[in-house]
Amino acid sequence: MNKSLKRTLLSSLIVPFALGAQSASAALVTDWGFSVTNVFENVTDTGGTGSVDGEGSNLLEWGVGPGPQSSVTINDVNAVNGLITGGGSVNGGVFTHTNNILPAEGTALDSFDLTSELTLTPFAPSAPSLPPASTTFNSFFIETANGGACVEPIGPDCADIFTIADVTGAELTVDGTYEFASSFNYDGYTYTLYLALAGLTTLGDPSCFAAGAPSGCVGLVTEESAVNNFQTSFRITAVEYVPEPGTLALLGMGLAGLGFSRRKKAEKS
């Protein structure tokens, strides 16, 4: 069956970090608790015998018996504390692609959305949790066939090629990995969260073309007949919040108007 065709898909796995909150005081949160939940939605398949099961959960499975099934999954994470402001990265969920050779007549995964929800809770100093932020990531993928010349020859068969549809906010680090950054304001500080996915890299033009992506695309590959794990991780930094110049100007105008009003009242009295 090395000429059979399977399909699967990799979400960008970018954990949603678009949070926003304000507080009257200004105390740096040095330690955070965090919770991330994931759900696969809007699942589509390639058609054929069988079905793709698991929509509405964090595990999708497909394939035709009696042989093994293929799957994608990402586990949820939850920690009371340990995300240190200005510290190192902590582990998030692990994205796993169980990549099995499937019969050509069987249905396979074609696309899905990954909806992830992040909740941050200040641990030191202690404070109520920030409002949860939910983000949906759209994914696109074409899998290579297992016969003929391999675009990505990893292992005994052709590897699958995954590409990320939207890499807005991605930054290439000095060690050649990608991080996705997102910021929010809380209690007098601007915090920036950075998410990384192990294995994510710039793919060569032949791989991008095979996956239907533009030149210089970002993605990863998975080995056939293997369980492929990709660890996500994230870290957080902070700087004191500085209002935009326009906000400062409006504040200055308001204070000037207040002073002018008081002078007028003083003259009338």
Going from the C-alpha of 12 to that of each of 162, 195, 196, 249, the distances in angstroms are 9, 11, 10, 40
Torsion of CA 41, 47, 49, 50, to 10 degrees: 0
- Three-state DSSP class for 224? coil
First to last CA, the chain: 96
d(CA 82, CA 238): 16
pLDDT of residue 147: 63
Domain ranges in the chain are 31-243
Sign of CA pseudo-dihedral 72, 210, 216, 134:
negative
Closest CA relative to residue 180, chosen from 38, 17, 37, 20: 17
pLDDT tens over the chain, length 269 residues: 333 323 333 333 434 444 544 444 579 999 999 999 999 999 988 888 888 999 999 999 988 877 788 899 999 999 999 999 999 999 999 999 998 887 778 888 888 888 888 899 999 999 999 998 887 777 766 666 666 678 887 766 788 888 876 676 677 776 777 888 889 999 999 999 998 888 888 888 888 887 777 788 888 888 888 999 999 899 999 999 877 666 555 555 555 544 444 444 445 55
- Three-state DSSP class for 259? helix
pLDDT of residue 266: 46
pLDDT of residue 13: 43
- The type of residue at 72 is V
Map 8-72 to HEC letters: CCCCCCCCCCCCCCCCCCCCCCCEEEEEEEEEEEEEEECCCECCEECCCCCEEEECCCCCCCEEE
What number of CA atoms fall less than 13 Å from residue 237's CA on the CB side? 6
Encoded tokens for 187? 């209690």
Sheet of strand 218-222, all strands in order from the earlier edge strand to the far edge? 160-163, 218-222, 201-202
Q: Return all residues near 248 (Cβ < 8 A) that are at least 6 apart.
A: none
Assess contact for 215 and 221: CB atoms under 8 A.
no
pLDDT of residue 86: 98
Closest CA relative to residue 120, chosen from 99, 92, 143: 92
pLDDT of residue 195: 86
